[in-house]
Amino acid sequence: MTETQHTWSPDWGEQIDDRARALGYADVTELLGNMPGQPYGVVADRLGGVAPIQIITVQFREAKRGGRIREAAKDSLVRNLNEQLPSGWGTGENAEWQSVRALASWSSELQVTGDCEELKSTLFAIAQALRGLPPPEGWVPRTPVDPIIECVFNAKWS
C-alpha cells in the first residue's frame, strides 16, 4: 500500500473529499445527506479505505465552514443511535446502559473528533432530555428530522 493510499496518510482529508467527488457528490455533507441514518462505518465502506472517525472529522469541518453545526450534530446523533441501538431504544439486554453509551459516544465524537468542545454542556443537555422523555421502546430515528430529535434539539440547542 502506498503512502497516498494509506488510511492515515498526511492528506487523508483531501482523499476523502476526492472519493466523495468521485462518487458524484460535491462534498461529504452531500454524500451523508444521501445516506440518511446510516452509521459512519457504512459510509466509510462506501468511500473505501477510510476510517469512520475521519468522516466525522470532515463532516464537522464542512459544517463549521458552512454554519451548519446544529444540522451536523443532529445527523451524527441519528447515525450513532442507528449503529449502537440497532434493535431500538429501550430494547435488549442492558437497554439503559446501551442508550447511555450511545449518547456518550455521540457527545465525545462531536467534542473531540468534530472539534466542538464548546458544545459540551449543550450536548449533555440534549442527551439528558432524550433520556428523560424517554423515546418509545424500539424507537430509532431514521433521519435528522425525526420528531423526537427535533423536539430535544429545539428545547436544548440555543
| Amino acid 140: pLDDT | 95
Q: How far apart are the first and last CA of the chain?
A: 46
> CA neighbours within 13 Å on the CB side: how many for 105?
20
Cβ within 8 Å of residue 62, ≥6 positions away: 27, 28, 29, 68, 72
CB-count exposure of residue 138 (10 Å: 0-12, 13-18, 19+): exposed
Kindly report whether the global pTM for this prediction surpasses the value 0.75: yes
Q: Return the CA Rg of the chain.
A: 16
In angstroms, the CA 23 to CA 3 distance is 22
In angstroms, the CA 115 to CA 118 distance is 8
CB-count exposure of residue 153 (10 Å: 0-12, 13-18, 19+): buried
Render pLDDT for 8-50 as a digit per residue (tens, 0 to 9): 777 888 999 999 999 999 999 999 999 999 999 999 999 998 9
Mean pLDDT by 10 residues, the chain (158 residues): 59 92 97 97 95 96 97 98 95 93 96 95 98 96 97 96
Report helix, strand or coil for 113.
Answer: helix
Report the amino acid identity of residue 12. Answer: W
In angstroms, the CA 90 to CA 4 distance is 43
Grid cell, residue 28, equals 461529504
